[in-house]
Amino acid sequence: MRKNKILCKSLKTVETLGAVNVICSDKTGTLTRNQMTVTDYMIGLQTHDALHAPGLHKDSKSLQQLSVISSMCNAGEFDASTIKLPIAERKVNGDATDQAVLRFAESMNPVENLRKFYRIVFRIAFNSKNKFMIHVIQSQSEPQEGTLLTIKGAPDILLPRCTSFIAPDGSISELTEERRLMIENIKNKWSSQGKRVILLAKKPLDQVRFDPTVQPREYEEDMMGRAMGNLILVGIVGIVDPPRAEIPEVVRILRGAGVRVFMVTGDFRLTAQAIAEQCGILTSQGNDVDDVSALSDDHLEFQTGNSDDEKHSLKTRRRGLVVNGSDIPNLDEAQWDMISQYEEIVFARTTPEHKLRIVKELQSRELTVGMTGDGVNDAPSLKAADVGIAMGSGSDIAIEASDMVLLDSFAAIVEAVRYGRVVYDNLKKTICYLLPAGSFSEFWPVLTNVVFGLPQILSSFLMIIICCFTDCAAATAIAYEKPEADVLTRPPRNARKDRLVDWKLVIQAYGFFGVLETVLSFTVSYWYCQRQGLRFSDQWFGFGALPPNMDLDTQTSILNTASSIYFVNLVVM
């Protein structure tokens, strides 16, 4: 595990990972590179390539306003030590989305200049429940202009709150239903291309009743209330976060090993679905991908004609499913049963509470769940999963909550699953080796001595030699045996039903190997005695009596040699 750059906190974790049959994976930073770049933007209902923004900034008032909101409604900060490097090479402290938007703003107008002109009066940080962040700003040189609420977040949350937008000439125009539909189409188009879409808006503030320094709680509640409506749409940006190159192959191998990979993300449904298709998590397309409506009994009966055989046939054909986080609290037990039957699932727009419930619902259906993630919001589900897997580049909280850390790449999870199964396989092999020779074949010489009066054909000293030396060396070699060729082509074991020592192993160890080793060892030992003149009939129920025409020293010498023969035969077998 160390050679594959996997930090495992306990051996038990590795063994459990070998039984995992579902892996729920976060998207950003786990399946993707977490290197976000703004590729497109929309202002005044017109879309543009982000590469052209620096050249258009000077003559476009609407783009200038987008630049201001992108710079000020942003928690990212350029690292001072890299400020002289090209924008793409600078280090940015902050969330990956903020980094992308900050670099986009810097390409048009130095962010430092804007942050000298404006000061941030109050901050409401982004969280996975609200899906937006708010910065209240005010001009440093002209405070009489008043304060401005700037907001950045998910379009599906913020667009319904917008009532107007910034026209290309910088004026404010009404956001009609036709225009709103046009923006929705642009958002959906970008999302279906796998882009994360962010909306930026503003709202002038008047008659603010609270002081943010003296009454921060009341001020925050006031700002949250004001952000519920009458926002002015400034623009939207499309951000690309490409999947890691190795992910499709990793998903293919895991699927061949009987492990289903589900995506659990906070992103918009179309974005999540597009990235899942690029990663190979979702192979179904178009009408073959179900949504939550397919989980209703009415839908099932309509599709199948209410026949039990046809219902079962439909279930076996089910493959792709996309579920929105808003639907998760309303799902009942029967619907979760149906969800657990799908081969490919994407959970979109999820919160930490949703992720935790997904893990627990799958666990309650006798599935062994592995959860991967790198953010603070992944910590509860990482802790609840059978195996929590964090990325080495993730947050300290996620790493602390996890059972295993992938220090280099998500591809290492294949090796983790491989060696998780190897640990279990080699333990079974070791037990199957130790039981016949280490206990069963040593027990019968004692039993025949007590019950049938035969000499103890295997001495106590040689029993100790077997337990402490010969068995230890061979058992250690078996424990380090390399994986079998089919270790990643067979389905995972059922951790709740399959036991390390079951009746099959006991029958194989005792009923086959044990009997074979014991009978053959007895046979060759007493055959030697017979050839030396110590007949078996004289020893049967002899209980230590000397046979006729043989002294004690001769009998002892023959039995010591026979004991060695039993020992050597047992060790060799």
Catalytic residue set? 26
Contacts of 447 (CB under 8 A, 6+ apart): none
The DSSP call for residue 90 is S
Residue with tokens 């005792």: 510
Apex 90 CA angle, 85 and 92, nearest 5: 150
How far apart CA 380 and CA 376 sit, in angstroms, is 9
Q: Is residue 76 a contact partner of residue 98, using CB atoms and an 8 Å limit?
A: yes
Q: What is the DSSP string of 284-319?
A: --GGGEE-GGGGSHHHHHHHHTT-HHHHHHHHHH--
Rg (CA), the chain: 35
How far apart CA 341 and CA 97 sit, in angstroms, is 34
Contacts of 6 (CB under 8 A, 6+ apart): 404, 405, 406, 407, 412, 415, 416
Q: Is residue 263 a contact partner of residue 25, using CB atoms and an 8 Å limit?
A: yes
Q: Is 349 left (phi over 0), alpha (psi -120 to 50) or beta?
A: left
How far apart CA 159 and CA 199 sit, in angstroms, is 8
